[in-house]
Structure 1
Amino acid sequence: MSWRILNQISRFASTATQNVTKGSPKILDFNQIPGPKYYPILGALNDVIQLGKNERLHLTVDEMHKKYGNIFRIRIQSIDAVFLSSADYIRSIFAYEGKYPKHPIPPAWFYFNEKFNIQRGLLFMDDEEWLQHRQIMNNFLLKDMKWTEKLVEMTCDNFISKLKRILDSEDATVVKNLEDELYLWSIYSILNLMLGSSTSEQSDREFDATVWEFVTIVKQIFDTSSKLMSIPPRFADKIHMKVYRDFENAAQKSIAISRRLISILSNDMQSSENGLLHKMRSEHLSEDMIVRIFSDLIIAAGDTTVTTLQWMLHSIAKDSEFQDKLRKSIVDEPGNLESPLVRATLRESLRLYPVAPFVGRFIENDATIGGYGIPKGVLALASLYTSGRDPVNFTDAHKFIPDRWLRNGDQGEHKVFKSHATLPFAMGSRSCVGKKIASYQIHCLISKILKEFTLESRNKEDVNFKLKLIGVPDKKILIAFRTTMPFTIDINP
């Protein structure tokens, strides 16, 4: 009897174990992830064949997601990578980023630093060096932000005044070089934050010329490095390609100009204890480290903030009904430059036009994403252009509807099913260190522009999204600025 009971228990335990094994999700091998075939004999040509033109990479990846699903595997310049478009998979990237998250750097930038043994700022740091300096900058840029508000507002007021002068002098409504003016505004914003007071009140023609030179250099860095995305920079350097020489020249000039600007701010202008320059020195950062961090802030913030503003202004200018609603939300709260609808407009613009359409991390330890085993060291990339336009995540996903982000129930039928399908500033410990300043700058400038002007789009053709290292308009943004009449509200029934 006892033998039978033991035998039955044994068989029950065996069956239970088998059932648990059968019921548990099986983790599939990394090599089972679908994706385009890699041909070793072709080397770097695989990138050209599979990924096509750099400027439409977001569309190529979007097409691959439609073909292979929410996760696909590909080899990029000898690096194993996975692209992810599911909102849940995207969150997993940051769960596996580790204590010292590592992100991909444009190959040309990485090669340039290696070639000349140049140490750069937060964007290029890793491991303990990154963590130490990131924690310092977190205290200044992500915690108490009150010290930045007056400086940002002052810079925005200067921009509005300059805009009026340009329109008056040219007797026109369209600003011919809006992108350049926004670039200058962006760089002066950072300079004012560094100084803690207005540079415009202390600058001279030489200083302004240096700032303008910096604008042209930053634009050239992005333009040339984007062209080098599909060409190994070491090879481009070896055969003396003009595009690499132009990039190298621009990168060297950017470092030299950064040093010159910091020297002027330190020696020729009166700084404030409220400025970032003073705050960084109070943490005993060396002058070399301050230049490194400052240079990265300018390069990282310049193009991204300007491009985001162009997309926002273009979207607002195309929709007069929404523009009136947005202006009313601003006027109704005169002391608030960040009305809920202004915030929602920025979120919606970044959803449709992500300035960084791919955000990536190198996986720190072996991981499981989407039922597949992802080995340590694989580059995981969030396809934010695809996920942000996926109807699974957003109703009317291809339409510009900022109201969808409002929390007071005004979004109507336009729902946000998964807000983390759009992560323009990434997430985790290596999310954008300047996200709060950038957001306030944009909220502030949009609010002040709409208080003063009515916007009208003058683009006769559709403006499309193209990739030039970041997501930029494929045509010049043309906007008419007309002086806004005093805003009144009809209180009669």
Structure 2
Amino acid sequence: NKKEASNSALFGERLGLLGNNPSYASLKFIHALEAMFKSTVQLMYMPRSLSRWTSTKTWEEHFEAWDYIYQYGDKCIQKTYSELVGGCPSQHYRSVLAELLLHADLSPDAIKANAIELTAGSVDTTSFPLLMTFFELARNPDVQQALRQESLAAQASITDNPQRALVELPLLRAALKETLRLYPVGLFLERLLSSDMVLQNYHIPAGVLKTFLVETLNQEDVRMVYRFILRPTALPLLTFRAIN
């Protein structure tokens, strides 16, 4: 279900895996994603100079998985582009991909690269926050009721114009942001700096890969409570600390 939602937002159509007869292409795409994530974990902590000799089968599975992910993404891009050029009305006009193609702010290669990255990366980045949002709402029935009332009040407006969702649902946006504060999708970030940087009195040279741990500034913040959800303007107390 998590991939159905992310695929719908990105490409304007669902994979169809929840139906009685899922397509072969959709099933193969999901299997390719699973193989890519599995092989990535197996390869990321071993030097390539060593794994190329000891994990040849894993590398082969990794490349085959990425090849099919690219093929699937390219097919979706070509389909959406053809519909936009032909002027055919379609639900694809409401997708992220269609917006990128219509605005033409990025080159076709950049759009393809970003679409493929979002295709692979949207699996865990959408499913985990949604799961933990439901968990926190179950523990906070008053907030859950407030969100329900907000959604019912905005239903008609959003049905007529889905883009109004960002404006009409401020409490829902705050809930998702608070979930990401309490349960970060990524506990650390890796960055290759293009210029020298000083971070909390640490000098980080350009061209050096650094890993930063996402932390809260005090223990009070790590209690699993929706502290900021009804006050979206309050600033989450987060910082980034270099860990290598």
Common fold by TM > 0.5: yes
- For the 8 Å contact 2:175–2:229, the answer to whether it is kept is no
Hey, what's the Cα distance between the residues in 2 that align with 1:399 and 1:226?
29
Aligned to 2:222: 397
Q: What letter matches 2:6 in structure 1?
A: S
Q: CA deviation at 1:377?
A: 2.6
- For the 8 Å contact 1:224–1:246, the answer to whether it is kept is yes
Q: Residues 290 and 348 (structure 1 numbering): CA distance in 2 closer, same or farther, change over 3 Å?
A: closer
Q: What letter matches 1:222 in structure 2?
A: F
Counterpart check, 1:229 vs 2:50? no
Hey, what's the Cα distance between the residues in 1 that align with 2:76 and 2:126?
20
Aligned to 1:421: 238
Aligned residues: 223
Aligned to 2:147: 326
Q: What letter matches 2:186 in structure 1?
A: A
Q: Residues 261 and 375 (structure 1 numbering): CA distance in 2 closer, same or farther, change over 3 Å?
A: closer
Q: CA deviation digits over 1:401-460, x for unaligned, max 9? A: 15456158xxxxxxx6x536169xxxxxxxxxxxxxxxxxxxxxxxxxxxxxxxxxxxxx
* Structure ranking higher on relative contact order (CA contacts 8 Å, 6+ apart): 1
Q: CA deviation at 1:234?
A: 4.2
Counterpart check, 1:190 vs 2:17? no
Aligned to 2:184: 354
Q: Residues 211 and 188 (structure 1 numbering): CA distance in 2 closer, same or farther, change over 3 Å?
A: farther
Aligned to 2:162: none
SS at match of 1:419: coil
Aligned to 1:374: 204
Hey, what's the Cα distance between the residues in 1 that align with 2:203 and 2:99?
47
Q: CA deviation at 1:254?
A: 0.9
Q: CA deviation digits over 1:54-103, x for unaligned, max 9? A: xxxxxxxxxxxxxxxxxxxxxxxxxxxxxxxxxxxxxxxxxxxxxxxxxx
Hey, what's the Cα distance between the residues in 2 that align with 1:303 and 1:218?
11
Aligned to 1:128: none
- For the 8 Å contact 2:181–2:236, the answer to whether it is kept is no
Q: CA deviation digits over 1:16-64, x for unaligned, max 9? A: xxxxxxxxxxxxxxxxxxxxxxxxxxxxxxxxxxxxxxxxxxxxxxxxx
Aligned to 2:161: none
Counterpart check, 1:313 vs 2:130? no
- For the 8 Å contact 1:220–1:247, the answer to whether it is kept is yes
Q: CA deviation at 1:187?
A: 0.7
Aligned to 1:482: none
Q: CA deviation at 1:280?
A: 2.5
Hey, what's the Cα distance between the residues in 2 that align with 1:342 and 1:264?
32
Counterpart check, 1:299 vs 2:123? no
After TM superposition, list the pairs within 5 Å mapping 1:141-156 onto structure 2: none
Q: CA deviation at 1:383?
A: 1.2
- For the 8 Å contact 1:365–1:375, the answer to whether it is kept is yes
**Identity among equivalent pairs (%):** 22
Q: What letter matches 2:39 in structure 1?
A: T
Hey, what's the Cα distance between the residues in 2 that align with 1:263 and 1:288?
12
- For the 8 Å contact 1:358–1:383, the answer to whether it is kept is yes
Q: What letter matches 1:391 in structure 2?
A: N
Q: CA deviation digits over 1:117-168, x for unaligned, max 9? A: xxxxxxxxxxxxxxxxxxxxxxxxxxxxxxxxxxxxxxxxxxxxxxxxxxxx
Greater helix share, structure number: 2
**Which has the greater radius of gyration?**
1
- For the 8 Å contact 1:183–1:303, the answer to whether it is kept is no
Structure 1: where are the runs of 5+ without partners? 1-180, 193-197, 409-415, 424-493
- For the 8 Å contact 2:195–2:207, the answer to whether it is kept is yes
- For the 8 Å contact 1:367–1:373, the answer to whether it is kept is yes
Q: Residues 397 and 404 (structure 1 numbering): CA distance in 2 closer, same or farther, change over 3 Å?
A: farther
- For the 8 Å contact 1:348–1:405, the answer to whether it is kept is no
Q: CA deviation at 1:271?
A: 5.6
Q: CA deviation digits over 1:229-258, x for unaligned, max 9? A: 211244223223543333222112111222
- The TM-score, its normalising length taken from structure 1, stands at 0.38
Aligned-CA RMSD value: 3.9
Hey, what's the Cα distance between the residues in 2 that align with 1:365 and 1:263?
37
